Amino acid sequence: MPTVPVSTHVFARLAQATALAAGMPTARNAFVPQPVVGRTAAELKAYIEGVDPVAKRPFMQVVLEGLTRPLDEQDVKGATFERSTPRLLPADTEDNLRELFIENRWTDFLPIILPTEERVERMLEGTKQPPDKIVGRMRPTAFREAWEFDVEKVAVNAVMAGARAPYLPVVLAMAGSGITARSSSTTSWATLSVVNGPIRNELGMNSGIGALGPYNHANSTIGRAYGLVSQNVQGGSVPGETYMGTLGNNWAYTACFAEAEERSPWPPFHVDEGFKPTDSTVSVFFGGWYTHSGYGPRATWKEKFIRMLTATDHYSPPLIVMDPLVARAFVELGFTKRSLIEWCAENAQLPAHQYWDDPWITTLIRPQAVAGIEPYATRLKAAPDELINIFTPDDIRIVVTGGETQAAFKMLSGRYLGRGPGTDNKGKPTVVIDPWR
């Protein structure tokens, strides 16, 4: 059926690239100016009556021609072609290769270790898996094409990040999650990865002073490797094409830490999620959008928690990272991890009109509410000033880490499970590392 998609003009390159990957390079797109969000009906009417900023012709002329102009040879033929990426690049000097990696945007623009054959071979000693074993497929966001990658490609990027061979199974597990650390969403996401189980100590990962970084070789380079793997095996993270995050995200450089299982008063995170204490796992949280920090629990901790929870962008639920001092203090107040999470969900409330006045709640949650899916339907039925719960207990997670130099905690944007902006449905965010050893 003749169809014309309409997008805002900042997506023109992305639309072109997506159409090409779909075999339809002449797909007939039309564009209106950015933004549409926040514009009145009169302003959007003016867009429709105005000029397509990409075609430089009247917008409706572009739309109507798109539906009625007869097909030409290229429209009928489409585009069919093989693409390949070589295993090895042509030999060159170290300086030239460094420039090549920068020009091609294969780095995060910090210095890299060039992935020579010898270095990659040594990295591959970190796993018994064959180099050509397919690890998975990855893409910048839903509806983009997914690229495939094998163990060797992960090793290559791990070398670039400065990782050591024993870290490779962790990076393989992260990559095998299928969750990209380089989402192309306009919201500038990152991933936060938590390592549990015996491998934390085997690799010397830090769950003490400075656990969130940058004070440990394994934490830093594993997190960085995951980012480089993501951007390179998925076909890029290039602004305007495969990356649209308007602000960018510091967490995207590296965000990987270990839980302080031995000093936490509660069961480890991966045990909460159904894994054995002896399993080594990595859990990928999707977020990094906001960071709130605090101390406590002090006398007014409830008010503090409520302020922080309701100040979140609630389409991205919080991962609460707390120092063992904080966790033990909550135990002294009579909380288990679960009861504290339930308290958070019960007390994080907003007037309904504030909850719904959010672009991603509108985009992602409202259709489910209209379809009668709970708890969203109840939230939609609420009067504008009625207080509604913005999280369920299943939305919120707690991880304990830190050096006990201060009773500090953070609430980090970190969706663990389920649908949300910026990525595919997160069905298996905790991956067992041991099969990748």
* Angle, vertex CA 240, rays to CA 23 and CA 427, nearest 5: 75
Asked if 427 interacts with another protein (CB under 8 A), we say no
Near another protein by CB under 8 A, which window of 8-16, 166-174, 201-209, 211-219?
A: 8-16
Distance CA 72, CA 70 (A): 7
The one among 56, 103, 143, 299 contacting another protein by CB under 8 A: 143
Q: Count other C-beta atoms under 10 Å from residue 425's C-beta.
A: 10
Amino acid at 221: T
Closest separation in Å from C-beta 150 to another protein: 8
- Residue 174 CA to residue 115 CA, distance in Å, equals 20
Binding mask 146-185 for another protein (x = CB under 8 A): xxxxx-xx--xx--x-------------------------
Q: Supply 137's token pair.
A: 């497929």
Q: Does 2 bind another protein (CB under 8 A)?
A: yes
78 binds another protein (CB under 8 A): yes
Pick 370 or 383: Cβ nearer another protein: 370
Cα–Cα distance, 425 to 142 (Å, whole number):
9
What's the CA gap between 279 and 259, in Å, rounded? 13
**Residues 353-372 interacting with another protein (rule: CB under 8 A):** 359-360, 362-364, 366-368, 371
- Write down the least CB distance from residue 244 to another protein, Å: 10
Cα 420 to Cα 364: distance, rounded to the nearest angstrom: 7
**Does residue 55 interact with another protein by CB under 8 A?**
no
CB 120 within 8 A of CB 159: yes
Among 94, 103, 332, 385, the residue binding another protein under the rule CB under 8 A is 94
11 binds another protein (CB under 8 A): yes
Q: Residue 103, interface with another protein (CB under 8 A)? A: no
Pick the closer one to another protein by CB: 76 or 299. Answer: 76
Positive/negative CA dihedral, 16, 21, 25, 28 = negative
* Identity of the residue, 140 or 297, whose beta carbon is nearer to another protein in the bound complex: 140
Least gap, CB of 157 to another protein (angstroms):
5
Determine the Cα–Cα distance for residues 387 and 357; give it in Å rounded to an integer: 14
Count Cβ atoms within 10 A of the Cβ of residue 76 and give its class: 0-12 exposed, 13-18 middle, 19 or more buried.
exposed
CA 195/CA 433 separation, integer angstroms: 9
- Is 133 a binding residue for another protein by CB under 8 A? The answer is no
Q: In the complex with another protein, which residue's Cβ is closer, 60 or 110? A: 60
Answer for the pair 340, 296: CB distance below 8 angstroms, yes or no.
no
- Size of residue set near another protein by CB under 8 A: 98
Which listed range, 139-147, 191-199, 214-222, 381-389, lies at the site for another protein (CB under 8 A)? 139-147
The answer to whether residue 124 forms part of the interface with another protein (CB under 8 A) is no
- With contacts defined by CB under 8 A, name the span among 116-124, 284-292, 330-338, 394-402 that binds another protein: 116-124
Q: Which of 86, 111, 274, 334 binds another protein (CB under 8 A)?
A: 86
Separation CA 135–CA 176 (nearest Å): 6
Between 20 and 331, CB nearer to another protein: 20
Among the listed ranges 91-99, 200-208, 210-218, 405-413, the one in contact with another protein (CB under 8 A) is: 91-99
Q: Interaction with another protein in 223-242: which residues (CB under 8 A)?
A: 228, 232-235
Q: What are phi and psi of 277, to 5 degrees?
A: -60, -30
The 10 Å Cβ neighbour count of residue 177 is 23
67 vs 209, beta carbon nearer another protein: 67
Among positions 82, 103, 332, 385, the unique one binding another protein when judged by CB under 8 A: 82
4 binds another protein (CB under 8 A): yes
Spatial separation of the C-alpha atoms in residues 67 and 5, rounded to whole Å: 11
Using the rule CB under 8 A, is 61 a contact of another protein?
Answer: no
Q: Does 394 bind another protein (CB under 8 A)?
A: no
| Count of alpha carbons within 13 angstroms of residue 94, beta-carbon side | 6
Among 13, 145, 343, 375, binds another protein (CB under 8 A): 145
- Closest CA relative to residue 191, chosen from 164, 222, 166: 222
Q: Is 372 left (phi over 0), alpha (psi -120 to 50) or beta?
A: left
Residue written as tokens 């905690």? 409
CB of 256 to another protein, least distance (A): 19
Q: Which of residues 179-218 bind another protein (CB under 8 A)?
A: 186
The tokens for 24 are: 């339809």
- Asked whether the beta carbons of 190 and 237 are under 8 A apart, the reply is no
- Report the site for another protein in 23-42 (rule: CB under 8 A): 23-24, 26-28, 32, 34-41
Are 162 and 224 a contacting pair, CB within 8 Å? yes
Q: Note whether 262 binds another protein by CB under 8 A.
A: no
